[in-house]
């Protein structure tokens, strides 16, 4: 019934191959972009079709085996796809948001050399991500996992001639790799542990069915889940492997929107959701996940407060929101985490695309005026509301959503997480406190961004001021659609406490319900407590917005006084808590030293010495053997006499 599921990853793969092989010859930008977008759209249509089919189906878990991959002893590994409510949600998000971003890129990347390369990589990324979310066993998922890492490298380093871009791409890939190592370790130990109990499999459904064979809360399951979580931190930019995400803003804005807001970074969350049975069995890991999620959210939010580059603010905001999602997973609120993943995809993609529209326009203006100012610096913006109305309104709507203002999508998903972090059996009020502080900071810095960019006096250089255009339809249409989703996207998951029927949570219940039941993960508390918490979080968000208005619209000189007063704190936060420097000191420089040492002492002396030594020996041999052919009769006669003496002597004395 779901036999056309394989088309979903296939279409983007086809697009990647066509654009990759023939893109250079198809000079027409519209054709290249059109092929890529159309194939993504087809993928989206198939995803929608399968989603509705699944809605109407009573059986919610479907495995589609495409082909056999390898049979090793008792282990059978197939190319297989798994369709259940979780992967259905993910494919909708990936293909839907992906199609919009492809459409956006047609206009945004206009005029770039290597246009076809961009779309080829973007489609390849979509293929990898879809393999990741549709993967029926850990190896197929890992193919997607590695593939998205690779495409992230290719796309961040798209402007490969710029050193900062290629450095950022390398950093992203290397940090990701550390996480991938964790994923593999977890997989190997899991496989080995299950095999010890007689179950030879890496298929997700079978793992879920047989997880009870492992001891709940034991050391083994804790190690396995921690290793998987390490992989998740790498992919989803949590402490300790988050340093790559802000640098990844060197890539073009559509890349930041697709990969670093909506899809790739959510792979870690998805993976935890997919293996929720295992995670629920290891309470210490869940606690670790919650702590790291909360800590990362806090850390990223503080850094985002002080940044001046529009994309950096959004990048740190992404890290912070991902921290929220991990916090949700850590306290057992799996469906809340996925819900927030979905709404975040909508509003963050809209925010990134909106910022791209602003940057594009600023760039156009500076180019027109022959200036070289930074088009991404917010201090050069201001008052763009009248120049770019569509961008402004969509941006504002998404900002309101992320701030958690009621009736917008962010409110529903965020509050669900806050409620669970307070009241869950695996939660703790302190998580709630941290999360609420982060919510306040989020509202503050997001509205700071809006006020600095779109309101107030125009700080742009006078020569460029009047040449800032609104963007073309290929850019604004996706913005409008995403803003719309950011507003209404939350209504599928309105919780009961507010009168809704939590359709989203119910839809995902077959995936998470079993684990939550088994390990008693639920949020308990009266409705009164819940209402109080909602009220508190909303008011803190509103306070954040008010503070932003105060400091950036009413009294614009306040920020300067504030930073002057708390200068060292400001510097600390502005320089990203000096974590990059710390990592350089702890890991990067020792590695470099080791490499240099091995080069000088080993490669040059030993290896080259061996090779040169061979040549030297040959030369020496030759020089020695040369004396047998001097041409001097005296030498030859001597040789003859020596021979005679030896032979006769041997005969005589033997």
| Helix/strand/coil for 10 | helix
Name the 3-class secondary structure at 64: strand
CB of 616 to another protein, least distance (A): 22
* C-beta closer to another protein: residue 73 or 653: 653
Q: Which of 25, 70, 565, 653 contacts another protein by CB under 8 A?
A: 653
DSSP lists the bridge partners of residue 77 as: 70
Contact 255, 155 (CB under 8 A): yes
Q: How far apart are CA 260 and CA 529, in angstroms?
A: 35
Between CA 89 and CA 492 the distance in angstroms is: 12
Measured in residues, the chain has a length of 654
Tell the smallest beta-carbon distance from residue 646 to another protein (Å): 9
Contact 349, 475 (CB under 8 A): no
User: Per CB under 8 A, does 642 bind another protein?
Assistant: yes
Tell which one of 1, 75, 604, 641 touches another protein (CB under 8 A). 641
Q: Which C-beta is closer to another protein: that of 586 or that of 644?
A: 644
Of 539, 560, 556, the C-alpha closest to 548 is 556
d(CA 243, CA 237): 7
CB under 8 A: which stretch of 131-139, 202-210, 217-225, 632-640 binds another protein?
Answer: 632-640
- Alpha carbon 543 to chain centroid, angstroms: 31
SS3 329: helix
Of residues 462 and 633, the one with the C-beta less far from another protein: 633
Which residues are registered as beta bridge partners of 135?
81
- Going by C-alpha positions, the residue among 382, 345, 338 that lies closest to residue 362 is 382
Residue 633 CB, shortest distance to another protein, in Å, is: 5
Cβ-based nearer residue to another protein, 3 or 629: 629
Q: Smallest gap, in angstroms, from Cβ of residue 651 to another protein?
A: 9
Return the number of the residue (4 or 630) whose C-beta is nearest another protein.
Answer: 630
Q: Which is nearer to another protein, 67 or 623 (CB)?
A: 623
Give 473 or 636: the residue with its C-beta nearer to another protein: 636
111 is a site residue for another protein (CB under 8 A): no
Among positions 52, 407, 585, 632, the unique one binding another protein when judged by CB under 8 A: 632
CB of 613 to another protein, least distance (A): 27
Q: How far apart are CA 398 and CA 614, in angstroms?
A: 69
Q: Which stretch binds another protein (CB under 8 A): 31-39, 242-250, 509-517, 636-644?
A: 636-644
Cβ neighbour number for residue 559 with a 10 Å cutoff: 15
Q: How far is the CB of 623 from another protein (least distance, A)?
A: 14
631 binds another protein (CB under 8 A): yes
What is the contact mask toward another protein in residues 600 to 629, using x (rule: CB under 8 A)? -----------------------------x
Question: Which of 72, 462, 652, 654 touches another protein (CB under 8 A)?
Answer: 652
CB of 647 to another protein, least distance (A): 9
- CB of 555 or CB of 630, closer to another protein: 630
Q: How many residues bind another protein, per CB under 8 A?
A: 17
Q: What Å distances lie between residue 315 and 121, 122, 322, 441, 572, CA to CA?
A: 21, 19, 11, 15, 18
Q: Which stretch binds another protein (CB under 8 A): 228-236, 274-282, 344-352, 630-638?
A: 630-638
Q: What are phi and psi of 136, to 5 degrees?
A: -90, -15
Which segment (37-45, 266-274, 546-554, 640-648) binds another protein by CB under 8 A? Answer: 640-648
| Torsion angles phi and psi, residue 145, rounded to 5 | -60, -50
Both tokens of residue 636?
């030859």
Smallest gap, in angstroms, from Cβ of residue 24 to another protein?
58
Selected range binding another protein among 58-66, 83-91, 306-314, 633-641, rule: CB under 8 A: 633-641
Residue closest to 258 by CA, chosen among 478, 428, 42:
478
For another protein, the closer of residues 568 and 654 by Cβ is 654
What's the burial of 10, exposed, middle or buried (CB within 10 Å: 0-12/13-18/19+)? middle
Contact between 403 and 442 under an 8 Å Cβ cutoff? The reply is yes
Nearer to another protein, 506 or 630 (CB): 630
Min. distance of Cβ 620 from another protein in angstroms? Answer: 18
List helix spans (H) across 455-601.
473-488, 503-518, 527-549, 558-565, 567-574, 579-583, 589-597
Question: CA-CA distance, 371 to 517, in Å (whole number)?
Answer: 62
Please give the structure tokens belonging to residue 437: 């502080």
- Least distance in Å: CB of 648 to another protein? 5
Per the CB < 8 A criterion, the answer to whether 148 and 264 are in contact is yes
- Name residues contacting another protein, limited to 207-236 (CB under 8 A): none
601 or 638: whose CB is closer to another protein?
A: 638
- Judged by CB under 8 A, which of 73, 113, 634, 654 binds another protein? 634
Give the x-and-dash track for 136-165 against another protein (CB under 8 A): ------------------------------
Q: What are phi and psi for residue 81, nearest 5 degrees?
A: -115, 150
Binding status of residue 644 toward another protein by CB under 8 A: yes
Contact 70, 57 (CB under 8 A): no
User: Would you count residue 501 as binding another protein (CB under 8 A)?
Assistant: no
Nearer to another protein, 407 or 632 (CB): 632
In this complex, which beta carbon is closest to another protein, that of residue 67 or of residue 653? 653
Assess contact for 413 and 339: CB atoms under 8 A: yes
The residue ranges that bind another protein (CB under 8 A) are: 629-634, 636-638, 641-642, 644-645, 648-649, 652-653
């Amino acid at each position: 019934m779901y036999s056309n599921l394989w088309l979903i990853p296939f279409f983007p793969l086809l697009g990647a191959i066509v654009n990759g092989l023939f893109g250079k010859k198809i000079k027409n930008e519209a054709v290249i972009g059109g092929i890529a977008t159309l194939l993504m759209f087809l993928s989206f249509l198939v995803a929608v079709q399968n989603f509705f089919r699944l809605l109407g189906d009573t059986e919610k878990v479907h495995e589609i085996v495409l082909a056999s991959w390898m049979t090793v002893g008792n282990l059978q590994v197939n190319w297989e796809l798994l369709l259940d409510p979780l992967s259905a949600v993910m494919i909708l998000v990936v293909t839907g948001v992906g199609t919009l971003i492809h459409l956006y890129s047609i206009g945004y990347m206009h005029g770039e050399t290597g246009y076809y390369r961009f779309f080829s990589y973007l489609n390849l990324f979509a293929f990898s991500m879809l393999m990741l979310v549709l993967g029926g066993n850990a190896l197929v998922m890992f193919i997607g996992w590695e593939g998205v890492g690779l495409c992230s490298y290719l796309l961040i380093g798209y402007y490969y001639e710029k050193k900062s871009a290629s450095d950022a791409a390398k950093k992203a890939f290397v940090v990701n790799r550390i996480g991938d190592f964790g994923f593999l370790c977890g997989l190997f130990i899991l496989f080995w542990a299950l095999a010890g109990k007689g179950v030879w499999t890496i298929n997700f459904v079978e793992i879920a069915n047989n997880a009870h064979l492992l001891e709940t809360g034991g050391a083994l399951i804790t190690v396995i889940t921690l290793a998987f979580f390490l992989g998740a931190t790498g992919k989803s930019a949590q402490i300790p492997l988050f340093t790559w995400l802000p640098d990844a803003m060197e890539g073009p804005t559509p890349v930041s929107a697709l990969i670093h807001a909506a899809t790739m970074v959510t792979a870690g969350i998805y993976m935890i959701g997919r293996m929720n049975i295992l995670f629920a069995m290891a309470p210490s890991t869940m606690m670790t996940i919650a702590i790291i999620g909360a800590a990362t959210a806090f850390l990223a939010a503080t850094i985002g407060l002080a940044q001046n580059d529009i994309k950096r603010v959004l990048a740190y905001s992404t890290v912070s929101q991902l921290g929220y999602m991990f916090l949700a997973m850590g306290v057992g609120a799996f469906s809340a985490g996925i819900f927030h993943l979905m709404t975040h995809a909508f509003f963050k993609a809209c925010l990134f695309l909106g910022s791209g529209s602003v940057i594009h326009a600023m760039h156009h203006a500076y180019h027109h005026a022959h200036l070289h100012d930074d088009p991404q610096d917010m201090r050069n913006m201001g008052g763009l509301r009248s120049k770019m109305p569509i961008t402004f309104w969509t941006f504002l709507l998404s900002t309101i959503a992320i701030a958690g203002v009621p009736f917008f999508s962010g409110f529903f998903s965020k509050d669900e997480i806050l409620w669970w972090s307070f009241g869950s059996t695996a939660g703790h009020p302190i998580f709630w406190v941290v999360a609420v502080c982060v919510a306040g900071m989020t509202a503050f810095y997001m509205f700071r961004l809006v006020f600095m960019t779109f309101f107030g006096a125009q700080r742009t250089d006078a020569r460029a001021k009047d040449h800032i255009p609104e963007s073309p339809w290929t850019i604004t249409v996706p913005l409008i659609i995403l803003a719309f989703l950011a507003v209404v996207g939350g209504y599928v998951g309105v919780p009961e406490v507010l009168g809704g029927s939590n359709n989203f949570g119910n839809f995902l219940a077959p995936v998470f319900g079993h684990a939550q039941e088994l390990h008693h993960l639920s949020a308990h508390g009266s409705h009164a407590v819940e209402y109080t918490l909602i009220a508190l979080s909303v008011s803190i968000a509103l306070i954040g917005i008010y503070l932003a208005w105060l400091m950036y619209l009413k009294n614009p000189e306040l920020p300067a006084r504030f930073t002057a007063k708390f200068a060292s704190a400001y510097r600390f936060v502005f320089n990203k808590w000096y974590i990059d420097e710390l990592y350089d000191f702890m890991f990067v420089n020792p590695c470099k030293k080791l490499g240099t040492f091995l080069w000088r002492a080993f490669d040059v002396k030993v290896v080259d010495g061996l090779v040169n030594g061979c040549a030297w020996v040959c030369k020496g041999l030759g020089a020695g053997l040369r004396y047998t052919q001097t041409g001097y009769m005296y030498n030859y006669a001597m040789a003859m006499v020596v021979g005679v003496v030896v032979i006769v002597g041997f005969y005589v004395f033997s």
